[in-house]
Amino acid sequence: MPTAVTTGSAIPELGPPGVRGICFSCDSIKDMDVAEETATRLGPTATWYSVGILADDQQLALECAEFCRRHGLHALFHPLDLDVCGTDPLDDRLLRELGRRADELDSPWLNIDLAMWVRQGETLLESLVPMPLIDEAVDWAVDRIKHAQDVIGRPLTIENAPYPFVVGDRDILTLMTRIAERADCLMTIDVGHLYGLRVQRGQNPVLPSDDDIAWDRVVEAHMSGTFIRRFDGGVRLVDDKHDWPVSDEVWDLADALLPRAPHLRSVMAEAEGMTADELTESVRRFARRADHWWSAP
Report d(CA 252, CA 229) in Å as an integer. Answer: 20
- Which string of x and - marks every residue 160-179 that binds Fe ion (by CB under 5 A)? --------------------
Site size toward Fe ion, by CB under 5 A: 2
190 binds Fe ion (CB under 5 A): yes
Q: Using an 8 Å Cβ cutoff, are 287 and 45 in contact?
A: yes
The DSSP line for 77-125 is E--SS--TT-SSPP-HHHHHHHHHHHHHHT-SSEEEESEE-EETTEE-T
Provide the sign of the torsion angle of the four alpha carbons 285, 289, 295, 297, taken in this order: positive
CB of 233 to Fe ion, least distance (A): 30
Nearest to 34 by CA among 274, 267, 223: 274
In the complex, least distance from residue 78 CB atom to Fe ion, rounded to whole angstroms: 8
Question: Distances in Å between the alpha carbon of 249 and those of 66, 141, 191, 218?
Answer: 36, 30, 10, 21
**Shortest Cβ 222–Fe ion spacing (Å):** 3
Nearer to Fe ion, 98 or 194 (CB): 194
Query: Stretches 8-16, 29-37, 205-213, 214-222: which one binds Fe ion (CB under 5 A)?
Result: 214-222
**What's the closest the beta carbon of residue 271 comes to Fe ion, in angstroms?**
11
From 48-56, 136-144, 217-225, 227-235, span contacting Fe ion (CB under 5 A) = 217-225
Minimum CB–partner distance for residue 160 and Fe ion (Å)? 8
Cβ contact 64:102 at 8 Å? no
With respect to Fe ion, which residue has the nearer C-beta, 98 or 128?
Answer: 128
Segment (H or E) for 280: helix 276-289
Q: Does 81 bind Fe ion (CB under 5 A)?
A: no
Q: Is 222 in the site for Fe ion (CB under 5 A)?
A: yes
| Distance (Å, whole) CA 262 – CA 259 | 7
57 makes contact with Fe ion (CB under 5 A): no
Stretch that binds Fe ion, among 41-49, 54-62, 216-224, 247-255 (CB under 5 A): 216-224
- Residue placing its CB nearer to Fe ion in the complex, 11 or 128: 128
Tell how far CA 176 is from the center of its chain: 13
Nearer to Fe ion, 222 or 263 (CB): 222
Nearer to Fe ion, 171 or 220 (CB): 220
Residue 115 CB, nearest approach to Fe ion (Å): 11
For residue 181, give the H/E element and its range.
helix 172-183
Q: Which is nearer to Fe ion, 143 or 249 (CB)?
A: 249
Site residues, Fe ion (CB under 5 A): 190, 222
